Amino acid sequence: MNPETKNCQACKNPFTIEPEDLIFYEKIKVPPPTFCWRCRMQRRDNWRNERLLYKRKCNVPGHSEDIISTFAPDVPWVVYDQKEWWSDSWNSLAYGREYNFSKPFFSQFNELLHKVPIPAVENENPVNSEYCNAAAGNKNCYLCFAAGWNENVAYSNKIGTSKDSLDCYMASKVELGYENVNCHDSYRLLWSVNSKNCRDSHFLYNCRNCSNCFGCANLVSKSYHIWNQPYSKDEYFVKLTALDLSTRERIEGLKEKFYKEIVANMVHKYASILNSSNCTGDNINNSKNVEVSFDVLTGSEDSKFLQHCMELKDAYDNMGAYRYNLSYENVNVNVGNNNIATIATYNARANQYSYHCHGCSNIFGCIGLRSKEHCILNRQYSKEEYEQLVPQIIKHMNEMPYVDAAGRKYGYGEFFPAEISPWAYNETIAQEYFPLSESEAQAKGFRWKKSEGKHYNVTIAADKIPDRIADAQDSIVNEVIECAHKGICNEQCTTAFKLIDAELQFYRKLNLPIPNLCPNCRHYARLKQRNPLMLWKRKCRCAGTASDNEVYHNTTKHFHEAGECPNEFESSYAPERPELIYCEQCYQAEVN
């Protein structure tokens, strides 16, 4: 097979479909995509609201109570509380309908979406953790999302098996962690990025197996270092005390020094790819033959265009997937194979274009089914009828594609159109990974949710928040605190926030000042510490004895000796960025 070049329906830019891609599409019997990989990823992300919670009325007949939901009150879907949705009190097959060959498939699916009950949130077995979503097995957790098996954790995203931690993004097995991004297996680690197996440390960047370190980057198995300089144990604690981490202003000053003087002058590995072979993307672990993928946490192979996945094989275009094999274009799915275009489906086999269906096999265009087989648009068929009708529907989808408001066509093999998603662009993780302004989003055909104009009775202005935790009274948990952004940002700012009791005790235990930003604005500040979901062709900036701009001087001889490193690669660091990017070999020579 030869590569194919197409122009993306969304961004209009050309993109290449490689021979191995064509082999995959042929294997699962779908036509090649008509959107580039980034626009496909953006479209999938527009179907996942992780972090925005609302109060709305429960739509169970006879119910009128308010429930916590990811669906805004004005979304015209039928939303059930979790307990009722998972019960046997209603029958999803009762909403079944005959396929209509005079209408596009996605129009019929959209009609069904407005009829079949949907669970208000995805929060499995919570214990005092009701304000969580895309979550399971959490105890005493608050505003945690894409989170599992944590205890006493708050304001965190994509966090697992952690305890007594706040404000973390992409973390696992962390205890007493605070404001960390992509940190794992650590204890009492604060304000750190890309670090592992560290303890009792502050402001670490790309460090591992370190303890009692402050403001350090690229250290391995070190202790008692400040600004990458070694000290004796006694000297370290004297200097650490003098740094004074008790005030917000002092911390911001130290953070600025850390990034400007330490991180900026250190070499950076072109990508975080560990124990993996033949992989491209960023933050990929223990995988093989995984390309153009991001946050592949472990154990995937022969896959492409993945985002936040674990243990996938022969899978393309999946987001939030676990053990989903030989599958294409799925979002928030667990355990399945041979599935195409499904959302929130678990234990699934040969499911296509389905939403919130669990334990099902051989279904097409269904919503809310459990342990069913051979269903189309929630209508039951015999095996023979199903196998006869599905090819006719696929043919119809290609002959009568859905056309969205921007004139883009969606035939068989394309994921659900963004315009039928229940969420506006800025309610979803699409805004986190592909940030747009309101006008940009609307120009691209995405819906935008207008600010509701929150008017809280603020009792403490942002500039009046106590600068030291010692100055905060117990009564501060009753105050309405103004966010310093005051809603003038593009970060889902809530304009004001309150503290919870456990949070106040956490700040006191670690002697941390109360933040002056709301949880949403703090979340977006953490996101800014990560690279975008994009790859550029780069070359190693090692020039022999130093970086090509001589800012960094190598500490050891490299394989290419005095000349420039010949290695090239794909990196999520854009060429115009100032970081000093080294290839795997040159980086390891320096860090190890």
pLDDT of residue 527: 96
**Can you state the percent helix, strand and coil of the chain, rounding each to 5?**
25, 35, 45
Triad 499, 501, 502: Cα angle to 5°: 105
Q: Is residue 177 a part of any domain in this protein?
A: no
* Contact call for residues 554 and 587 (beta carbons, < 8 A): no
The residue behind tokens 């046997």 is: 88
Q: Is residue 489 a part of any domain in this protein?
A: yes
pLDDT of residue 254: 97
3-state secondary structure of 19: helix
Question: Do 466 and 523 belong together in one domain?
Answer: yes
pLDDT of residue 484: 97
409, 443, 477 — which closes off a domain? 443
475, 499, 527 — which closes off a domain? 527
pLDDT of residue 1: 79
pLDDT of residue 419: 95
Residue 358 makes CB contacts below 8 A (sequence gap 6+) with 345, 346, 347, 348, 369, 370, 371
Domain count, the chain: 3
Count Cβ atoms within 10 A of the Cβ of residue 477 and give its class: 0-12 exposed, 13-18 middle, 19 or more buried. middle
- Domain carrying residue 517: 462-527
Question: Do 473 and 510 belong together in one domain?
Answer: yes
Question: Do 435 and 478 belong together in one domain?
Answer: no
pLDDT of residue 86: 96
The residue behind tokens 């900026």 is: 264
Q: Is residue 254 a part of any domain in this protein?
A: no
CA distances from 452 to 73, 74, 488 (A): 12, 12, 13
Question: Do 553 and 580 belong together in one domain?
Answer: yes
| CA nearest neighbour of 189 among 171, 583, 368 | 171
Q: Per residue of the chain (592 residues), what is the pLDDT tens digit?
A: 799 999 999 999 999 999 999 999 999 999 999 999 999 999 999 999 999 999 999 999 999 999 999 999 999 999 999 999 999 999 999 999 999 999 999 999 999 999 999 999 999 999 999 999 999 999 999 999 999 999 999 999 999 999 999 999 999 999 999 999 999 999 999 999 999 999 999 999 999 999 999 999 999 999 999 999 999 999 999 999 999 999 999 999 999 999 999 999 999 999 999 999 999 999 999 999 999 999 999 999 999 999 999 999 999 999 999 999 999 999 999 999 999 999 999 999 999 999 999 999 999 999 999 999 999 999 999 999 999 999 999 999 999 999 999 999 999 999 999 999 999 999 999 999 999 999 999 999 999 998 877 789 999 999 999 999 999 999 999 999 999 999 988 899 999 999 999 999 999 999 999 999 999 999 999 999 999 999 999 999 999 999 999 999 999 999 999 899 999 999 999 999 999 999 999 999 999 8
> CA-to-CA distance for 341 and 120, rounded, in angstroms?
21
Question: Do 544 and 517 belong together in one domain?
Answer: no
Q: Is residue 584 a part of any domain in this protein?
A: yes
Question: Do 487 and 506 belong together in one domain?
Answer: yes
| CA nearest neighbour of 191 among 204, 209, 174, 182 | 204
511, 527, 543 — which closes off a domain? 527
Count Cβ atoms within 10 A of the Cβ of residue 260 and give its class: 0-12 exposed, 13-18 middle, 19 or more buried. exposed
Residue 62 makes CB contacts below 8 A (sequence gap 6+) with none
3-state secondary structure of 198: coil
Question: Do 427 and 466 belong together in one domain?
Answer: no
| CA nearest neighbour of 528 among 438, 435, 426, 437 | 435
Task: Tell me the pTM.
Answer: 0.95
Q: Is residue 403 a part of any domain in this protein?
A: no
Q: Is residue 24 a part of any domain in this protein?
A: yes
Give the sign of the dihedral formed by CA 260, CA 263, CA 264, CA 266: positive
Helix (H) or strand (E) holding 510: helix 501-510
Q: Is residue 228 a part of any domain in this protein?
A: no
Give the sign of the dihedral formed by CA 307, CA 311, CA 315, CA 318: negative
Q: Is residue 110 a part of any domain in this protein?
A: no
pLDDT of residue 452: 76
